């Protein structure tokens, strides 16, 4: 596959990945490679395996890898627990962020941030230092500090949940962020806020995979590569204009594509 | 069953008091509860036997309190150790009940006791000596928080009784801490009488050490416009049983009950509640939670009784249960008995496991499985713990105990 910065080692390499859940095959040979600084978009019909791919990279225990490999900064991560993957710099922005009643958002964010900082051999933050940091990051997604005192995602609107995901991304400073339909359920203003937050957080060392159905997020964050997934495989890869073609013709247009890899 | 044998042989108590005589007579024919009855059928027979196996000969030992530094404005009492308490202040008074008042009150109650339904109280009164009965009369709306300790001594069966009268317009935070020492059985019977317009925020924290047992009976009588709130937690007992009976004498009172029982290893902890409305416009909101791990067994049975006279009753009873281990067991049975036709009553029960998606969400942010589980469990406890009137100092103790368990 073409990459923008061939001279760099990929952050993430997924090679010929097959995976299933409860003996039902979902991924049927996915290959993708993301270099530092690159933004990739994955598009495809509902149920084609996009979200499954993101969860498998993050280590969801419900899925079983039957073949292939996932390398993160050159290391095979298949045997790593979800928390080990997260601490080492893999971030999954959930399509449907989970509500956890009774668990303080602030405390959760602090424990998560310190887990990442510990991995990076940075000093862990006490409650006061963490509050300073989180307030600074709140500005990125234009969130009110009142959200911190609430339970994780409980009673949040769809847009607030997605902004909370980006806030977490900002705090964890991942090497690769996989954002699963971060644009779904957002109005135009919220989409701009979220997109702006993502752009501010990402840098030349970060790789981003945007899973989306719509062109409008890609107008805000221009991808370097667009991949089309169908039935557990990436069937076409192109540059950002591929998303425009999809928008124009719909997914039926991809039905006749043969698998490129 | 050492104690039962002694009841049968009429050798349980030497020189029994009037109350003890009455109760021994009530138990003599049927010293055990009916194990086939709804109230007792789930009790583990071998554990129940072990509960009754200790000697009731009272070894004199001072109770070791779980925390030392208390705020000077908290009134601390230890059943069996405090000989007198009489406080008369401008805004409140706390007076120890006279022996004659205690005898009169208990006699009046036990005359109506059914052997099976009130077996725990009858046994308690057979064994509870005069020095182990604490009776208080409280009045005033600025009463300092009161904490009352009750404990059992190792290798002993101890019975303790608390009677508390709250005068009209009284408002008080009451925390009861029941501690079961290693290899022991504790029987605690508590009677609370709430006059009109009284408010009691009542916390019950009960925990034991290795192979300790508890029989904890709570009888609450509420008059009109009284407000009774109970937050309770029971954990770390080989065998424990918490019986709650609430009687809204004329309805038109408010009752809130939030309790949790945590069972581990081979423990069995049960909560039985009976809430009765004897008049209209009563209110109850009850949540009982169980958390069962390892090979333990948690039980909840709750009955809300709404007779015809109790129109406009508003009652809610919810049993929420968390099974942590595939070998643990939970039995739950929330029940409504409604005769009145103009009421709002609901009940329900859920049994679930730790939510895998919540755990994955937290783990995907770098929290270990242990950290994520702890956060999830603490959120499960929080709703209940918040109802226990407990200061930060004492909360630290509870936090430590919960983490150990």
Last residue of a domain, one of B336, B354, B372: B354
A258 confidence band (pLDDT: 50, 70, 90): low
Q: How far apart are CA B348 and CA B344, in angstroms?
A: 14
What does each C-alpha distance from B57 to A168, B127, B158, B395 come to in angstroms? 61, 10, 8, 34
Q: Supply the DSSP string of B367-401, one letter for each residue.
A: --HHHHHHHHHHHHHHHHHTTS---HHHHHHHHHH
Domain A4-256: which CATH number of 3.40.50.1820, 3.40.50.2300, 3.40.50.300, 3.30.1330.100: 3.40.50.300
pLDDT digits (tens, 9 = 90+) for A73-92: 999 999 999 999 999 999 99
Q: Do the Cβ atoms of B375 and A151 come within 8 Å?
A: no
Nearest to B74 by CA among B198, B174, B153, B159: B174
B384: nearest CA in chain A?
A102
E-strand spans in A183-249? 207-211, 225-230, 233-238
Closest chain B C-alpha to A7 CA, distance in angstroms: 30
Nearest to B126 by CA among B97, B142, B106, B105: B106
* Interface check A125 vs B, CB under 8 A: no
| Residue B388 and residue B311 share a domain | no
| Residue B54 and residue B181 share a domain | yes
Sign, CA dihedral B147-B210-B56-B298, equals positive
* Interface check A87 vs B, CB under 8 A: yes
For the cut 70, the answer to whether the pLDDT of residue A9 exceeds it is yes
Q: Which of B258, B358, B365 best tests the A interface by mutation, with the highest count of A CBs <10 A?
A: B365
pLDDT digits (tens, 9 = 90+) for A99-153: 988 888 998 999 999 999 999 999 999 988 999 999 999 999 999 999 998 999 9
* Interface check A100 vs B, CB under 8 A: yes
| Residue B231 and residue B365 share a domain | no
| Residue B306 and residue B161 share a domain | yes
Per mean pLDDT, which range of A125-134, A159-168, A251-260, B231-240 is the poorest? Answer: A251-260
Domain that includes residue B282, residue range: 3-354
Q: Which of A111, A115, A125, A175 best tests the B interface by mutation, with the highest count of B CBs <10 A?
A: A111
| Residue B255 and residue B404 share a domain | no
At B168 the pLDDT is 96
Q: How far apart are CA A59 and CA A81, in angstroms?
A: 6
Q: Domain count for chain B, please give it.
A: 2
| Residue B405 and residue B258 share a domain | no
For the cut 50, the answer to whether the pLDDT of residue A261 exceeds it is no
| Residue B385 and residue B342 share a domain | no
pTM recorded for the entire structure: 0.80
Residues 6+ positions from A123 with CB-CB distance below 8 Å: A117
- Paired tokens of A261: 């890899």
At A5 the pLDDT is 47
**What is the ipTM for the molecules in this complex?**
0.94
For A50, the enclosing helix (H) or strand (E) is helix A50-58
């Amino acid at each position: 596959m073409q990459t923008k910065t061939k001279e760099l080692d990929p952050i993430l390499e997924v090679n010929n990945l097959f995976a299933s859940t409860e003996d039902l095959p979902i991924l049927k040979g996915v290959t993708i490679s993301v270099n530092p600084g690159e933004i990739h978009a994955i598009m495809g019909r509902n149920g084609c395996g996009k979200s499954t791919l993101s969860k498998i990279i993050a280590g969801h225990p419900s899925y079983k890898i039957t073949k292939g490999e996932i390398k993160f900064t050159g290391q095979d991560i298949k045997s790593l627990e979800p928390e080990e993957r997260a601490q080492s710099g893999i971030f999954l922005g959930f399509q449907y962020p989970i509500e956890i009643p009774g668990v303080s958002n602030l405390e959760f964010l602090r424990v998560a941030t310190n887990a990442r900082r510990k991995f990076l051999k940075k000093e862990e933050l006490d409650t006061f230092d963490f509050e300073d940091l989180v307030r600074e990051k709140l500005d990125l997604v234009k969130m009110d500090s009142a959200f911190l005192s609430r339970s994780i995602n409980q009673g949040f609107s769809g847009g607030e949940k997605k902004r909370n995901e980006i806030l977490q991304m900002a705090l964890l400073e991942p090497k690769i962020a996989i954002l699963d339909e971060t644009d779904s359920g957002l109005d135009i203003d919220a989409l701009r806020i979220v997109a702006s937050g993502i752009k501010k957080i990402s840098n030349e060392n970060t790789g981003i995979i945007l899973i989306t159905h719509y062109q409008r997020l890609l107008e805000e964050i221009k991808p370097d590569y667009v991949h089309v997934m169908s039935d557990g495989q990436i069937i076409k890869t192109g540059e950002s204009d591929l998303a425009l073609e999809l928008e124009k013709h719909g997914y039926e247009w991809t039905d006749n594509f043969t698998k490129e890899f | 069953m050492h104690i039962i044998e002694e009841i049968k042989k009429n050798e349980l108590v030497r020189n029994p008091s009037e109350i003890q005589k009455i109760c021994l007579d009530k138990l003599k024919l049927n010293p055990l509860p009916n194990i086939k009855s709804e109230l007792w059928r789930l009790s583990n027979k071998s554990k129940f036997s072990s509960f009754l196996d200790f000697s009731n000969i009272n070894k004199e030992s001072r109770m070791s309190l779980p925390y030392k530094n208390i705020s000077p404005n908290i009134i601390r009492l230890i059943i069996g150790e405090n000989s007198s308490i009489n406080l008369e202040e401008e805004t409140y008074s706390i007076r120890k009940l006279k022996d004659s008042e205690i005898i009169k009150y208990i006699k009046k109650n036990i005359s109506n006791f059914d052997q099976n339904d009130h077996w725990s109280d009858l046994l308690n009164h057979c064994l509870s000596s005069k020095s182990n009965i604490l009776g208080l009369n409280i009045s005033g709306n600025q009463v300092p928080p009161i904490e009352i300790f009750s404990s059992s001594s190792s290798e002993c069966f101890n019975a303790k009784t608390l009677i508390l009268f709250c005068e009209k317009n009284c408002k008080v935070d009451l925390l009861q801490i029941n501690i079961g020492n290693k290899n022991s059985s504790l029987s605690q019977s508590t009677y609370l009488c709430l006059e009109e317009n009284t408010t009691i925020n009542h916390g019950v924290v009960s925990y034991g050490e290795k192979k300790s047992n508890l029989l904890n009976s709570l009888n609450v009588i509420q008059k009109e416009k009284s407000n009774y709130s109970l937050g309770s937690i029971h954990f770390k007992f080989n065998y424990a049983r918490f019986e709650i009976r609430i009687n809204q004498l004329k309805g038109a009172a408010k009752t809130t009950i939030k309790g949790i029982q945590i069972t581990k290893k081979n423990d069995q902890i049960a909560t039985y509640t009976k809430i009765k409305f004897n008049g209209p416009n009563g209110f109850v909101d009850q949540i009982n939670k169980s958390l069962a791990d390892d090979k333990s067994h948690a039980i909840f049975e709750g009955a809300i009784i709404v007779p015809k006279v109790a129109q406009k009753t508003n009652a809610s009873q919810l049993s929420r249960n968390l099974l942590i281990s595939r070998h643990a067991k939970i039995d739950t049975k929330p029940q409504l008995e409604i005769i009145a036709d103009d009421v709002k009553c609901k009940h329900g029960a859920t049994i679930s496991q730790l939510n895998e998606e919540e755990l994955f969400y937290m783990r995907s942010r770098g929290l270990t499985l242990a950290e994520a589980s702890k956060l999830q469990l603490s959120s499960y406890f929080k709703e209940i713990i918040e109802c226990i009137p407990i200061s930060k100092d004492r909360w630290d103790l509870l936090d430590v105990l919960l983490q150990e368990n």
